[in-house]
Chains A and B, each alone.
Chain A
Amino acid sequence: MKRLSVSLVILGGLAHGLAAQGDVRARLVGRVSPEVVQLVSSLADSARGLGLPDAPLVDKALEGAAKAAAPERIAAAVQTVFGQLAAAARVMRSTGATPGSQEIEAGAFALGAGLTVDDVAAVAQTADGTHPAMAVLQVAGALAALGVPRAQTVGLVQSAVRSGLPLGDLTNLPAQVQAAAASGVPPAAAAAGLERAAEARAAPNPHSSSKAKTNPHKP
């Protein structure tokens, strides 16, 4: 497998491939064991061959070194990250999208926060012109990382986008959940409330327009 991936890199562009390999090694040598350097280099080659970013692999190895983790543990953690990147890219591409590095990393982040590949697909598919994939995936990942259950995370993001919530307000959703949590409201309940609000907004409203509100609604 290693030999095959090296061949692919050579076919893809010798100079670029070797430079990228050198960059990975340069970042790791002296900070992790030679075995880990070799493993990460090899995984990075595979990642590049699959159109995945390799920086998260190197970051995870450096993190393991900083936390004085055993080489086997570092290796396992790096492989997990590789799996998340690959899965995120695969599921996004299967929806017809062509995700760039940032979208793939956002998808991998969402997986690492506890969402499944189906969740990531569902969230990624809500992306539209005003709600780019990277942002919706970041929001979903942040919500999941805050403890909002998976189904509710997906539901909230979908409702918010469908209701036309401005991007700035969408990216504020995790902060709202966290603020609610600080006042003792469980993340699930906070997310449910926000989803209901989004659905209410999305319901057809004969009065909705961009005109001035002449009758301020009662709080």
Chain B
Amino acid sequence: MDHSGAPSDGSVVRAVLAGDTDQFSVLVRRYRDRYARYAAHMLGSIDAAEDAVQDAMVRAYTHLGQCREPENFAGWFFLILRNRCFAERRRSRWETGLEGVSEVAAPEQTESELERSEVVKDLQRALLRLTAEQREVFVLKHVEGLAYDEIAARLKTSVAALKMRMHRAYDRLRELLEAP
């Protein structure tokens, strides 16, 4: 993947397994933010995303010997983070939008911008009321921009199953957002 000469993920993984622990920081730096948005949408807050990424990174280090494809550390790390997000049960009460975020409310913010803020928060609240599987397919497709077949490959499932999940998510969101 890398023709510029920066160390590949595989060579860094091998170095860490050979005992050079500090090299793990290369992977931390590379991937610390890559799935942050996904985790934030899954968990409903950036603070929770930060905890999840931190835990997932440490877990990736602890189980690094089990990474079957060192050149695909990113995909393997994603699955660890995903498991961590699914295990997160404490968000039973829903937060307002991405919690901890105060958009810089410049006085010039127009009425339409304020309205958009509310609409965005409404959707985020509603997403948190979907099942984790439904929320995930919505986030991967519509926030992260992956195609169905890419999501299917990543999650080891079928496109048909994903579409069924997604379509239920669409209907559930309609119920939540169109509620009187």
Contact = CB atoms under 8 A, between A and B. Distances in A.
Tell whether A pairs with B: yes
Interface of A: 163-166, 169, 172, 175-176, 179, 200-202, 205, 208-210, 213, 216-217, 219
A201 B4 contact: yes
Given A175-B29, A219-B15, A219-B23, A166 B10 contact: no
Given A172-B29, A219-B14, A219-B15, A165 B23 contact: no
Question: Of residues B3, B4, B11, which shows the largest number of chain A Cβ atoms within 10 Å of its Cβ?
Answer: B4
A209 B4 CA distance: 9
B23 A164 contact: no
Interface of B: 1-6, 8, 10-11, 14-15, 18, 20, 23, 25, 29
Given A176-B29, A219-B18, A213 B6 contact: no
Given A175-B29, A219-B20, A219-B23, A201 B6 contact: yes
A163 B14 CA distance: 24
Nearest to B10: A216
Contacts of A205: 5
B3 A210 contact: yes
A213 B11 contact: yes
Contacts of B25: 179
A219 B4 contact: no
Nearest to B108: A23
Contacts of B29: 172, 175-176, 179
Contact of B6 (A169, A175, A216, A217): A169
A208 B5 contact: yes
A9 B121 CA distance: 43
A96 B127 CA distance: 50
Given A216-B10, A219-B15, A163 B3 contact: no
5 contacts: A166-B2, A175-B29, A208-B5, A213-B10, A213-B11
Given A208-B3, A219-B14, 8 more contacts: A169-B6, A179-B25, A179-B29, A200-B5, A213-B8, A213-B11, A216-B10, A219-B15
Nearest to B2: A166
B45 to A, nearest CB: 24
A55 B29 CA distance: 33
